[in-house]
Amino acid sequence: MEFTTLGRTGLTVSRLCLGTMNFGPKTSEEDSHTIMDRALEHGINFFDTADVYGWQLGQGVTESIIGRWFAQGGGRRDKVVLATKVYGKMGDWPNDNGLSARHIIKGCEESLRRLQTDWIDVYQMHHVDRKTPWEEIWQAMEILVTSGKVRYVGSSNFAGWHLALAQEAARARHFLGLVSEQCIYNLLTRFVELEVIPAAQHYGIGIIPWSPLHGGLLSGALRRIKEGTAGRAGETGGRSMNDMAEHRATIEAYEKLCESIETDPADVAIAWLLSRPGVTAPIIGPRTLSQLDRSLGALDVTLDDGVLGQLDQLFPPVGKGGPGPEAWAW
């Protein structure tokens, strides 16, 4: 396993992050525990979850599964850099969501209880809360850090200017502020290259891409459909099939390119992300043990300039490419 530091911190994390969103809804608790054990065997020490995962209002299903895994002992908790999130709706009352100080602190305490741990390594804001001032958000986060319940703070789904607002507000309080931004980023979705990644690099914020395979479209979806082995990407309906209809010719050309370099499409997609500036660790979200094992192949893939150029032709960056304003102006 390869390791790096998270943003400008000294925290060491694996170059792949284990996403746990499938734990509970699609993967049984027993299988989820087996996947997490195997992840540690592979050297993956960076785990990502959220209070809303499991999609049962207020239940924190996925966090609870992880907590029962930690409770088995064997040094599991000490080995893991644990990231979870706050913002989403956890009840039917007005203060059961968002980033008010009340909800942040209550959400942290409930996550700690479900996860059966004393601390969260990276506590991430799952979305922007436009009605809560940064002074209130940072005061709540400072309380959690000072009390030892949180080590670092991250964001998810923020725009570049949100990162700037957050960091300048934190700087005024002499607080470390954000150390990571978790955003959708893959060959088909490159909007973050315009402003999010430049802002993150300026402030020393590590990028953690989610949906690196764009719902399975970049993992050899057409090949699996032809073989009759399609899973999520081959199911009818949903974002994957809608995007397949729009990008079918591009996906066909992509899979031919991957075949020409004798590399699995999923490995190419993740290796491309690993080569991008500012990226710390793409999130892999296996539903099965075999999917986890296959995900590690990307670490052995090096894409040369010729292949990278072909990928840019197939999946053009937004505008003229690179950061703004050059991407859209002279």
Cα 177 to Cα 7, 134, 163, 167, distances in angstroms: 11, 11, 10, 6
**Other Cβ atoms closer than 10 A to 242:** 11
Choice among 53, 123, 152, 203 that is catalytic? 53
Characterize the bridge pairing of strands 150-156 and 3-5. unpaired
> Is 87 one of the catalytic residues?
no
Cα end-to-end distance, the chain, whole Å: 42
Order of strands across the sheet that contains 283-284: 206-210, 178-184, 150-156, 120-125, 81-86, 46-48, 17-19, 283-284
Q: Which residues contact 215 (CB under 8 A, 6 or more apart)?
A: 232, 233, 238, 239, 240, 243
Residues in CB range of 242: below 8 A, 6 or more apart = none
What are the CB-based long-range contacts (under 8 Å, 24+) for 162-168? Answer: 162/128, 163/196, 163/199, 163/200, 163/203, 163/205, 164/199, 164/203, 165/134, 166/134, 166/137, 167/203, 167/205
Find the DSSP H helices in the chain.
29-42, 61-70, 76-79, 101-115, 134-146, 160-172, 196-203, 221-227, 238-260, 265-274, 289-295, 305-314
Which residues carry out catalysis? 53
